[in-house]
Structure 1
Amino acid sequence: MARLLFLAFAVLFVGGCDRSAMPEAQTVVAENYDSFWLWAGVKPQPVLDRAQSIYILAGEVRAGDPGRFRQLRPATPDVSVDELWLVVRVETLDWSPAIADEILKLAEKWDRRDRPLTGVQIDFDARTNGLEGYAAFLRSFRNILPDRFKLSITGLLDWSANGDPSDLSALADVADEAVFQTYQGRATIPGYEQWLGRLRDLPMPFRLGLVQGGQWQAPDHLDDMPNFRGFVVFLVNPSRVGAAD
Structure 2
Amino acid sequence: MLLAACGQGTPDAGRVSASAHDAFFLWAGVKPPPELDRARTVYVLAGEVRAADNSRFVPLRPQPPRASHADVWLVLRVERIDWTPEVTRQLLREIARWQAAGANLRGVQIDFDSATLHLDRYAQFLQHLRSDLPRGMRLSITGLMDWSANGDPAALAKLGTVVDEIVVQTYQGRTTIPGYESYLASLSRLCLPYKVALVDGGEWRAPAGLANDPHFKGYVVFLLPEGGRAV
TM-score, length basis structure 1: 0.87
Instruction: Return the letter of the residue paired with 1:62.
Output: R
1:219 corresponds in structure 2 to 207
Tell me whether 1:184 sits opposite 2:181 in the alignment: no
For structure 1, which runs of at least 5 residues remain unmatched after alignment? 1-22
> Structure 1, residues 62-98: CA drift from partner, whole Å, max 9, x if none?
0012221100002111212331000000000121110
> Structure 1, residues 202-234: CA drift from partner, whole Å, max 9, x if none?
221000000001010112310111100000000
2:188 corresponds in structure 1 to 200
Tell me the distance in 1 between the aligned counterparts of 2:102 and 2:95.
15
> Structure 1, residues 89-143: CA drift from partner, whole Å, max 9, x if none?
0000121110011111111221259653100000000000000000000000001
Matches for 1:77-156 after TM superposition, within 5 Å:
77-111=65-99, 115-156=103-144
Instruction: Return the letter of the residue paired with 2:214.
Output: P
2:5 corresponds in structure 1 to none
Instruction: Return the letter of the residue paired with 2:189.
Output: D
**Closer/same/farther in 2, CA of residues 228 and 98 from structure 1, 3 Å limit:** same
TM-score, length basis structure 2: 0.92
Tell me the distance in 2 between the aligned counterparts of 1:148 and 1:241.
36
Q: Which has the larger radius of gyration?
A: 1
Instruction: Return the letter of the residue paired with 1:67.
Output: S
Tell me the distance in 2 between the aligned counterparts of 1:111 and 1:45.
23
1:52 corresponds in structure 2 to 40
Instruction: Return the letter of the residue paired with 1:191.
Output: G
2:198 to 192, 210, 219: 210
1:238 corresponds in structure 2 to 226
For structure 2, which runs of at least 5 residues remain unmatched after alignment? 1-10
1:54/1:81 contact within 8 Å kept: no
Q: Percent identity?
A: 51
**Closer/same/farther in 2, CA of residues 59 and 114 from structure 1, 3 Å limit:** closer
Superposed CA RMSD in Å reads 1.5
Tell me the distance in 1 between the aligned counterparts of 2:228 and 2:217.
27
Tell me whether 1:168 sits opposite 2:156 in the alignment: yes
Structure with more relative contact order (C-alpha pairs < 8 Å, separation 6 or more): 2
Which 4+ stretches in 1 moved above 2 angstroms?
Answer: 112-116
Tell me the distance in 2 between the aligned counterparts of 1:78 and 1:43.
14
Residue 61 (structure 1) shift:
0.4
Instruction: Return the letter of the residue paired with 2:145.
Output: L
Tell me the distance in 2 between the aligned counterparts of 1:65 and 1:99.
10
1:9 corresponds in structure 2 to none
Residue 201 (structure 1) shift:
2.7
2:68/2:104 contact within 8 Å kept: no
Tell me whether 1:28 sits opposite 2:21 in the alignment: no
1:81/1:115 contact within 8 Å kept: no
**Closer/same/farther in 2, CA of residues 114 and 105 from structure 1, 3 Å limit:** closer
Instruction: Return the letter of the residue paired with 1:195.
Output: Y
Tell me the distance in 2 between the aligned counterparts of 1:241 and 1:72.
22
Q: Secondary structure at the match of 1:215?
A: coil
Matches for 1:5-24 after TM superposition, within 5 Å:
none
Q: Secondary structure at the match of 2:90?
A: helix
Instruction: Return the letter of the residue paired with 1:98.
Output: E
